[in-house]
Amino acid sequence: VTNGGKTTLAEKLKKMLPNCDIISQDDFFKPESEVETDERGFKLYDVLDALYMDEMVKSIRNWMKSPESSGVVTEELQNTCDNLKNTEDVYILIVEGFLLYNYEPLCEIWNRRYFLTLPYEECKRRRSTRVYQPADTPGYFDGHVWPMYLKYKNELEENATNIVYLDGTKSQEELLSCVYSDIIQELKKLRE
């Protein structure tokens, strides 16, 4: 969901996990001139066609081929706990965005999938505090953003499996703790 805390969560995880990098779907938006406009004058940003998805897939696959040469900086981790010992040869890529699980070429690459949700009112409130380029026009949230979120969420629920749904109204600390713990469990499995 838009403004659900995806980027914030990804950035906090990156600081806590070894050899971790992020690819953000927001970096693959087409220029405004290439984004379709509907009959109401709304720029259709909340659809896959507004993104260079092939380029995103290529970036992910390139990272997967050679994560150690991807520019990931092994920094002193903020959380140096016993859970992370013997993981220096493991590389973690966090891919964050709002239309990831509905794009078929990406479906087979996910190890873990998290989906942040927000109720309508909270989402609209958060969205109203953000400044976008181009700016949201009056009625854009109700006329395009929220309906597209519901459409893609419904498709996801019908077609995807193994998704952990996260309540975006929970505190950043709670969300971070939940996802971090889950990733630590995955790392333990890799070591075994």
In a domain, 59, yes or no: yes
In a domain, 76, yes or no: no
**If 0-12 CB within 10 Å is exposed, 13-18 middle and 19+ buried, where does residue 94 land?**
buried
In a domain, 134, yes or no: yes
What's the number of domains the chain is made of? 1
More confident residue, 80 or 116: 116
Residue 8 has pLDDT above 60, yes or no: yes
Mean pLDDT (the chain, rounded): 89
pTM: 0.88
The CATH number assigned to the domain holding 119 equals 3.40.50.300
Residue 49: active-site member: no
Exactly one of 21, 26, 38, 54 is catalytic; which is it?
A: 26
Would you state the pLDDT for residue 190?
80
What percentage of the chain reaches a pLDDT higher than 90?
71
Most confident of the ranges 61-70, 82-91, 135-144: 135-144
State the distance between the two ends of the chain, measured CA to CA, in whole angstroms.
Answer: 35
Q: 125 CB contacts (<8 Å, ≥6 apart)?
A: none
In a domain, 78, yes or no: no
Q: What is the pLDDT of residues 21-31, one digit of tens each?
A: 999 999 999 99
- Residue range(s) defining the domain that contains residue 125: 6-68+88-190
Query: Please, which pLDDT band fits residue 125 given cuts at 50, 70 and 90?
Result: very high
Cβ atoms 92, 20 nearer than 8 A: yes
